[in-house]
Amino acid sequence: QRTASGRLRIAIQKSGRLSDESQALLKRCGLKLNLRDQRLMSHVENLPIDILRVRDDDIPGLVMDGVVDLGFIGENVLEEERLEREARGQEAAFKPLRRLDFGGCRLSLAVPEDFEYAGADSLTDCRIATSYPNLLRRYLNEKGVPFKSCMLKGSVEVAPRAGLADAICDLVSTGATLEANGLKEVEVMFRSMATLIQAPQPLDPERQALIDKLMVRVNGVIQAKE
Ligand code: PRP
Ligand code: ZN
Ligand code: MG
C-alpha cells in the first residue's frame, strides 16, 4: 500500500540554498541522478530510488507523514514544523539520521539600522515579521517579551521599510539580504545546518537496508572532506 513501486523516496529542495549541495551529496554517494528537467519526481538510474523535488518548507511534513522515506532539510524549517504540529496537537515524529556539512545559517532578529536596540526588551509590543512564528514565539516567550507577529512566507526583509513591521525574524546566511534592506542583526535565536531525516514508520527490510547502505556512503563522503 505504501508504494506500488517499492522504490525508496527521497525529498530534496527544488531550488534554494540546499538544492545544489543535496544533489551533489547524493551524486557523491554514487546515485546516478538525472535532474535536468523540471519534473517533480525523477528516477535514480542505478538504484531503486526516486527523488522528489519540492519546496523546502514542505519536506518535514512529507517525512513526518511518511509520504517520503527520507528528506534533506534545514534544522530551522524542521524545528518550526515540529513546533507547529505540537501546537496543533498533531504527530511530529521523525528519525534523525545525520547532521550534514552544509546549509549553515542562523535564525535571527533584525531591526532597522537606526533602531536603538538594548536587548530583547527593546522589542516589547513591537510587530515582528517572520516565516517562523513558532520559533519566534518560543524565543520571546522564554524572555518574557510581549510582541505582535506578522506572518509572511516571503519578502520578510522588506516588511519594516514597507511599514508592515518594526522588526523581522528571518534566516541570515551571508548577511547580504539584511544589509541591502537597511537592517542590522541584533539577536541570534537558532543556529541551523542541513540535516537528513527519515520517516518514523518502520520500513520493509529491503528499503531499510538501502537506507543503511546509503548512510554508510554519506558518512564516508562527509568524513573524506573533513
Ligand atoms: C533566506 C532568507 C533571506 C536569505 C538570507 O531565504 O529568507 O532571504 O536567505 O541570506 P543572506 O544572509 O545570504 O542574504 P532562503 O534561502 O531560506 O529561501 P526561502 O526563504 O525562499 O526558503
Ligand atoms: Zn522556503
Ligand atoms: Mg528568503
In sequence order, the 6+-apart residues with CB closer than 8 A to the CB of 85 are 61, 64, 91, 92
At 180, list the grid cell: 541591502
Task: Give the confidence band of 1 by pLDDT, cuts at 50, 70, 90.
Answer: very low
Q: Which of 13, 73, 105 to mutate to test the pocket of ligand 1 (most atoms within 8 A of CB)?
A: 105
Judge contact between 130 and 169, C-beta under 8 A.
yes
From the alpha carbon of 154, which atom of ligand 1 is closest?
A: 20
The complex's ipTM? 0.93
Q: Which residues line ligand 1 (CB under 6 A)?
A: 16-17, 56, 156, 170-177
Per-residue model confidence (pLDDT) at position 39:
84
Give tens-digit pLDDT for 172-203: 999 999 999 999 999 999 999 999 999 999 99
From the alpha carbon of 17, which atom of ligand 1 is closest?
A: 16
- The burial class, CB within 10 Å (0-12 / 13-18 / 19+), for 47 is middle
Q: Give yes or no for residue 36 having a pLDDT over 80.
A: no
- The Cα 175–Cα 26 span in angstroms is 28
Q: Where are the beta strands (DSSP E) in 45-143?
A: 49-54, 70-74, 95-99, 105-112, 127-130
Ligand 1 centroid – CA 109 distance (Å): 14
- The Cα 70–Cα 60 span in angstroms is 9
Q: What 3-state DSSP class applies to 98?
A: strand
Looking at the whole model, is its pTM more than 0.80? Answer: yes
Ligand 2 centroid – CA 224 distance (Å): 30
Ligand 2 centroid – CA 1 distance (Å): 30
SS3 content of the chain, % helix, strand, coil (to 5): 35, 25, 40
Give the number of whichever ligand sits closest to the CA of residue 81. 2
Question: What is the phi/psi pair of residue 114, to 5°?
Answer: -90, 5
From the alpha carbon of 74, which atom of ligand 1 is closest?
A: 17
